[in-house]
């Protein structure tokens, strides 16, 4: 299947600062793609180039096979962008704001579609309220509404849930899933690793303008992740029994527990057998799976070591 | 065929200034009334006719031009600059509107405001000095061209400016002095030769003079000079604004 977005050798220079260094990336149709990276990594720069807010210094970006600079009218119709910074026009109400944005895209916003968007974003009761009078969370939801009025094929969400409370975040995630189910491709940048872990099919990790990893979330977790078995002992020990030490076991809490990490794809069988063979008295057993956050931190540390920072 | 996108931007821009009528329409009305009370009514009665026209009537074209210039400029400059500040410029930048449509939307609304304010001022002026329109088509066409020139300069300034001070720089240091020295309140025949030659370099003099021809049928220079200059200035300012939008200068990083 043809990718929805193709990024080839994109570089972006702001004066002496290189914000992106030859990034190659493809976004597939119908996926939720999460772009992760610390502040200043180049996430917003990259999606701004795709959406036409910035121009690449070098390289090429295609959306639905069309160049975003030469065929900008075509590509922008396919894109919805929810910017990171909240903006609002204090002259207009929620409904007017949505109708104006639809008009820019050459779309007459039908009543049913307007109501659907307002309902999905929990703004139906605010339809005739001036956008100035909305709370921060509502203003952010209105931004999402504006990005959806023309029914885009790809929706870019730049830090969509920053400053949004937990309940609303969950309902936005649900809506993102609904959009995907309808065939919308979703690209999101986020600081909340939990968000990417919850939503994303594929993950790109970016740091200092370079793409450090690009793969399915599950593969990423399997390849870079690990799981840990922690045995809480009935009697503290001074050292790890040799059978567990051979598997990489380490003492924790001053000898009150032994923890053994195994690759994400392997089982705990050998660890349990080694513990039984060593005659360990076990009071409790805990397991812990590496989160996307752990993988992210590890990748960044590796990338920085290679990059010499 | 005017696209829905362009119509939306134009209507939105017009509604924006109509939502604050006190600032956009009433304020120039008050200023004009004051001008007429002070210069036209009270002082004008003691002044001799200028080129055979009572002073209160002589100053009408210049004041109307000043109103059109200021309001056309302020509309596009402040609207676009505030959009930059508020971040709502993003809404336009991500849209499929062409550069020409974006420019036409801002210019269209600014021209409407400029001409609307000019019209209101003309009505107020008429109440003081009597209504007169010697060449109505010429007067309206020239005022529309004046509005286009200054609306485009407003777009250029708003794109370039990083602060409100920079937006106000142009009206404070160029528009107001050049308008006041451009024969709004006097005929250049009344000036010493040196100042007359200097005034001949002031483009706003030709605009005021051309509009005066349209309204009162009198002018210091040939009316076609003003018209030709306006066409050239409109082409330069609109072309410049279009080039800036197209290049993405200060808008698309």
* Model pLDDT, residue B152: 98
**CA of B42 vs chain A CAs: smallest distance (Å):** 40
Is the Cβ of B18 closer than 8 Å to some Cβ of chain A?
no
Return the closest-CA partner of residue A188 out of A299, A78, A43: A43
Spatial distance between the Cα atoms of B117 and B24, rounded to a whole number of angstroms: 8
Superfamily of domain A3-222: P-loop containing nucleotide triphosphate hydrolases (3.40.50.300)
CB nearest to B252's CB, from A53, A83, A88: A53
Q: Pick from B18, B88, B247, B249 the residue to mutate for testing the A interface (most A CBs within 10 Å).
A: B88
Is the Cβ of A81 closer than 8 Å to some Cβ of chain B?
yes
B9–A106 C-beta distance less than 8 A? no
Spatial distance between the Cα atoms of A190 and B162, rounded to a whole number of angstroms: 30
Is the Cβ of B136 closer than 8 Å to some Cβ of chain A?
no
B3–A53 C-beta distance less than 8 A? no
Please, are residues B189 and B172 in contact by the beta-carbon 8 Å criterion? no
B248–A55 C-beta distance less than 8 A? yes
- Tell me the Ramachandran region of residue A195: left when phi exceeds 0, alpha when psi lies from -120 to 50, beta otherwise: alpha
* Model pLDDT, residue A309: 43
Spatial distance between the Cα atoms of B145 and B142, rounded to a whole number of angstroms: 5
Cα dihedral value A37, A40, A41, A44, nearest 10 = 80
Q: Enumerate the residues of chain A whose CB falls inside 8 A of the CB of residue B3.
A: 106
- A241-290 pLDDT, tens per residue? 998 999 999 999 889 999 998 887 788 999 999 999 888 899 999 988 87
* Model pLDDT, residue A266: 82
* Model pLDDT, residue A13: 95
CB nearest to B95's CB, from A86, A87, A105: A105
Q: Give the C-alpha distances (Å, rounded to integers) separating B17 from A12, A272, B78, B114, B240.
A: 38, 75, 10, 11, 25
- DSSP state for residue B48 in the 8-state scheme: P
Torsions phi, psi for A227 (to 5 deg)? -130, 155
The CATH number of the domain covering residues in A226-289 = 3.30.70
Residue ranges of chain A assigned to CATH 3.40.50.300: 3-222
Residue ranges of chain A assigned to CATH 3.30.70: 226-289
* Model pLDDT, residue B8: 98
The arrangement of strands across the sheet holding A250-252 comes to: A250-252, A257-263, A226-233, A282-289
Read off the pTM: 0.87
* Model pLDDT, residue A218: 81
Q: Enumerate the residues of chain A whose CB falls inside 8 A of the CB of residue B20.
A: 91
Q: Which residues of chain A have pLDDT under 70?
A: 1, 303-309
Is the Cβ of A104 closer than 8 Å to some Cβ of chain B?
yes
Return the closest-CA partner of residue B55 out of B69, B70, B68, B38: B38
* Model pLDDT, residue B173: 92
* Model pLDDT, residue A52: 93
Written as six digits, the tokens of A180 are: 């995907």
Q: Enumerate the residues of chain A whose CB falls inside 8 A of the CB of residue B100.
A: none
Q: Enumerate the residues of chain A whose CB falls inside 8 A of the CB of residue B16.
A: 91
* Model pLDDT, residue A308: 44
Please, are residues A64 and A6 in contact by the beta-carbon 8 Å criterion? no
Q: Three-class SS of residue B50? A: strand
Q: Which residues of chain B have pLDDT under 70?
A: 40, 44
């Amino acid at each position: 299947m043809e990718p929805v977005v193709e990024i080839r050798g994109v570089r972006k220079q702001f004066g002496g600062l290189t914000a992106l260094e030859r990034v190659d990336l493809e976004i597939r149709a119908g996926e939720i793609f999460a772009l992760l990276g610390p502040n200043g990594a180049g996430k917003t720069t990259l999606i701004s180039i795709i959406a036409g807010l910035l121009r690449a210094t070098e390289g090429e970006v295609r959306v639905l096979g069309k160049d975003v600079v030469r065929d900008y009218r075509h590509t922008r119709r396919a894109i919805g962008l929810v910017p990171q910074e909240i903006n609002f026009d204090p002259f207009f109400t929620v409904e007017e704001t949505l109708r104006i944005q639809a008009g820019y895209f050459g779309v007459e916003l039908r009543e049913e579609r307007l109501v659907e968007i307002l309902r999905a974003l929990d703004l139906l009761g605010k339809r005739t309220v001036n956008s100035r009078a909305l709370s921060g969370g509502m203003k952010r939801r209105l931004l999402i509404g504006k990005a959806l009025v023309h029914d885009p094929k790809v929706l870019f969400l730049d830090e969509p849930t920053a400053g949004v409370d937990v309940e609303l975040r969950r309902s936005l995630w649900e809506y993102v899933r609904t959009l995907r189910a309808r065939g919308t491709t979703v690209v999101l940048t986020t600081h909340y690793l939990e968000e990417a872990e919850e939503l994303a099919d594929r993950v790109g990790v970016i740091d200092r303008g370079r793409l450090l990893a690009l793969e399915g979330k599950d593969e990423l977790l399997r390849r870079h992740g690990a799981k840990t078995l922690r045995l809480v002992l009935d009697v503290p020990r001074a050292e790890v029994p040799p059978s567990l030490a051979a598997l990489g076991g380490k003492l924790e809490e001053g000898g009150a527990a032994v923890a053994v990490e195994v690759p994400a794809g392997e089982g705990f069988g050998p660890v349990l057998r080694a513990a039984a063979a060593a005659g360990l008295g076990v009071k409790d057993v805990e397991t812990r799976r590496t989160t996307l956050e752990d993988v992210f931190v590890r990748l960044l540390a590796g990338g920085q070591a290679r990059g010499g920072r | 065929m005017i696209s829905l996108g362009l119509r939306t931007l134009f209507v939105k821009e017009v509604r924006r200034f109509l939502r604050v009528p006190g600032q956009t329409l009433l304020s120039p009305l008050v200023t004009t009334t004051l001008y007429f009370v002070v210069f036209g009514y009270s002082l004008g009665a003691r002044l001799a006719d200028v080129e055979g026209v009572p002073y209160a009537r002589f100053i009408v074209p210049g004041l109307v031009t000043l109103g059109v210039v200021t309001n056309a400029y302020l509309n596009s400059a402040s609207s676009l600059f505030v959009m930059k500040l508020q971040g709502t410029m993003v809404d336009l930048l991500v849209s499929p509107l062409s550069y020409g449509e974006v420019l036409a939307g801002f210019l269209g609304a600014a021209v409407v405001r400029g001409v609307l304010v000019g019209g209101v001022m003309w009505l107020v002026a008429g109440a003081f000095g009597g209504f007169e329109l010697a060449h109505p088509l010429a007067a309206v066409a020239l005022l529309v061209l004046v509005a286009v020139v200054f609306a485009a300069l407003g777009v250029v300034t708003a794109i370039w400016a990083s602060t409100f001070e920079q937006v106000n720089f142009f009206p404070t240091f160029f528009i107001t002095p050049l308008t006041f020295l451009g024969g709004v309140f006097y005929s250049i025949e009344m000036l010493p030769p040196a100042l007359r030659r200097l005034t001949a370099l002031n483009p706003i003099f030709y605009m005021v003079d051309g509009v005066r021809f349209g309204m009162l049928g009198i002018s210091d220079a040939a009316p076609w000079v003003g018209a030709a200059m306006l066409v050239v200035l409109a082409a330069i300012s609109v072309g410049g604004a279009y080039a800036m939008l197209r290049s993405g200068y200060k808008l698309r990083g």
